[in-house]
Structure 1
Amino acid sequence: MFPPSQAQGANQAIEDAWLLTRALRHAAVEPALRGYEARRARRVRLVARLAASESTNRVPPSPLAALSRSLRPSLAGRLYTHLLYRYSSVLHDEQP
């Protein structure tokens, strides 16, 4: 089982490109870059904190492993979607 943030580097790069493209369409370059930076900083910090707190090569403690196995796939999917929503500028449809 992979931790949720393991693929977030690629996801964040795609979101950076998406938001930067939108920002540059509607403003002069310098203000667009400042706005882009301000919008992305909060979400990127969340992802970085999560990634720094994970131990990707360790077996989870028994109670945590048992809990993760006991979740219905539909519930696990909803929890993961909620987690991704916290990090996503695209899912929030942020405007530049």
Structure 2
Amino acid sequence: MLKKEFDTSYVGFMKDGAQWLVENTDIKLVGIDYLSVAAYDDLIPSHLVFLEGREVILVEGLKLDGVKPGIYSVHCLPLRLLGAEGSPIRCILIK
């Protein structure tokens, strides 16, 4: 995240992986510490799988440096933007 150059080799979901997660788990939030939860080679199809059902919340650009292992509650506080498909959020962890 802190590099000036965009790195296309980051880890993200391909369409089939996103589809499997949506259909076979109860996961409601997917977060990643880079710019997209979708793999660079499969950006649009992967996002569409997650966003079609509107049941999975995507959080991109998480910064979890220094968070100690443990059980936390995560609270994501989005900006309400009319007509937008996403918004900046602030996530907080409560132990």
**Range of TM-score over shorter length:** under 0.3
TM-score by length of 1: 0.24
Q: Which has the higher strand share?
A: 2
Q: Which has the larger radius of gyration?
A: 1
TM-score by length of 2: 0.25
